[in-house]
């Protein structure tokens, strides 16, 4: 059964909805649902279950990086869209459960403590206009609810931002636009918080290997990186997006020789550059597999270790 809300919709907003009617069914998500009216699958529920975890990790990332890395924890949920009836006198708006819009919920620790935010894309388009709205339910959330722009402003000065996700329905385009250098990591992968320090040290060192990132010569370059923290092996893969490193880190789990090629095929399919720099001291016995994949897919492969003296900008 559909719920009906009576909303005051401005002429400009209403016109926008009508003009987009031929492009998508419903333009906007239900903001109240994203915040605290979606059966717990909302910002209210997310803060209740993940606030402590996010605060602990934010503190560790801040400690291990000397304040130079940022941290946000995210979860994507589906909320009903708003079905606006243009001819209704009181501007009735139905909640359309058949036309969901994905909303991103996020936790961030700011100067004043834990903050929560959310955003969505109009029409549920991966590259649609970003949308957020203040609601009367914001005060119900167990953290200060802010606009997503406030959080991103805090992260502008960071070398890197670690985006730890609780499900894999995230939209990478959001972070390409909103953040500088960033790395996505599944929440729960890191079992020992000292692994965060190893990751931060590794990628801070990697950043020193650039003369500068705003280099057109790097536009067609991607990176596959390898580092070990304790007994855990990690692989990271990055594209250069808007002169920024945009990537993902995961554990390397290889039990048999036959596991190597599927792992690399999945990783390399995420890369956009035709030049791939493989960076790290130990590639876990996959050097030959990578060379074979690069040859078969017409990629230029460049191998570099952490003690390299040249720069990625001039790598040949």
Residue 23 has a pLDDT of 52
User: Do the domain assignments include residue 304?
Assistant: yes
Q: Is residue 212 part of a domain?
A: yes
CATH number at residue 258: 3.30.420
| 234 is a domain residue | yes
| pLDDT for the residue 20 | 37
Is 199 part of any domain? yes
Confidence (pLDDT) at 194: 96
Contact of 222 with 240, CB cutoff 8 Å: yes
Q: What is the pLDDT of residue 24?
A: 76
In a domain, residue 16? The reply is: no
Residue-number span of the structural domain to which 249 is assigned: 189-316
- Number of domains observed in the structure of the chain: 1
pLDDT at 14: 32
Q: What is the pLDDT of residue 84?
A: 79
Give the per-residue pLDDT at 77. 97
Rounded average pLDDT per 10-residue block, the chain, 316 residues: 40 34 75 96 97 98 98 97 74 85 97 96 95 97 97 96 96 95 97 97 98 94 97 97 96 93 96 97 96 96 97 92
For residue 285, tell me if it sits in a domain: yes
Q: Which pLDDT score is estimated for 92?
A: 75
With respect to residue 160, please indicate whether it lies within any of the assigned structural domains: no
pLDDT number for residue 105: 98
Domain membership of residue 60 (yes or no) is no
pLDDT at 52: 98
Phi first, then psi, for residue 204 (nearest 5°) are -65, -40
């Amino acid at each position: 059964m559909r719920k009906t809300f009576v909303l005051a919709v401005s002429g400009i907003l209403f016109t926008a909805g009508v003009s987009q009617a031929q492009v998508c069914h419903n333009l906007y998500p239900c903001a109240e649902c994203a915040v605290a009216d979606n059966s717990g699958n909302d910002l209210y529920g997310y803060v209740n279950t993940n606030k402590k975890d996010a605060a602990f990790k934010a503190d560790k990332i801040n400690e291990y990086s000397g304040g130079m890395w940022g941290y946000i924890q995210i979860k994507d949920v589906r909320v009903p869209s708003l079905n606006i009836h243009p001819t209704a006198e009181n501007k009735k708006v139905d909640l359309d459960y058949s036309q969901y819009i994905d909303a991103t919920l996020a936790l961030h620790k700011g100067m004043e403590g834990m903050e929560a935010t959310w955003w969505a894309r109009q029409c549920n388009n991966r590259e649609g206009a970003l949308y957020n709205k203040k609601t009367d339910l914001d005060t119900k959330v167990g953290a200060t609810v802010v606009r997503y722009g406030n959080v991103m402003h805090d992260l502008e000065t960071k070398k890197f931002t670690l985006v730890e996700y609780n499900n894999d329905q995230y939209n990478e385009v959001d972070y390409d636009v909103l953040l500088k250098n960033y790395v996505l990591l599944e929440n729960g992968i890191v079992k020992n918080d000292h692994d965060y320090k190893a990751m931060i040290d590794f990628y801070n060192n990697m950043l020193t290997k650039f003369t500068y990132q705003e280099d057109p010569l790097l536009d067609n370059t991607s990176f596959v990186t390898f580092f070990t923290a304790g007994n855990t092996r990690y692989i990271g893969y990055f594209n250069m997006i808007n002169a920024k490193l945009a990537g993902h880190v995961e554990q390397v789990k290889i039990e048999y020789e036959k596991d190597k090629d599927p792992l690399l095929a999945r990783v390399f399919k995420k890369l956009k550059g035709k030049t791939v720099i493989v960076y790290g001291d130990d590639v876990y016995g996959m050097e030959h597999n990578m060379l074979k994949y690069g040859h078969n897919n017409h990629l230029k492969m460049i191998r570099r270790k952490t003690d390299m003296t040249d720069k990625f900008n001039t790598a040949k």
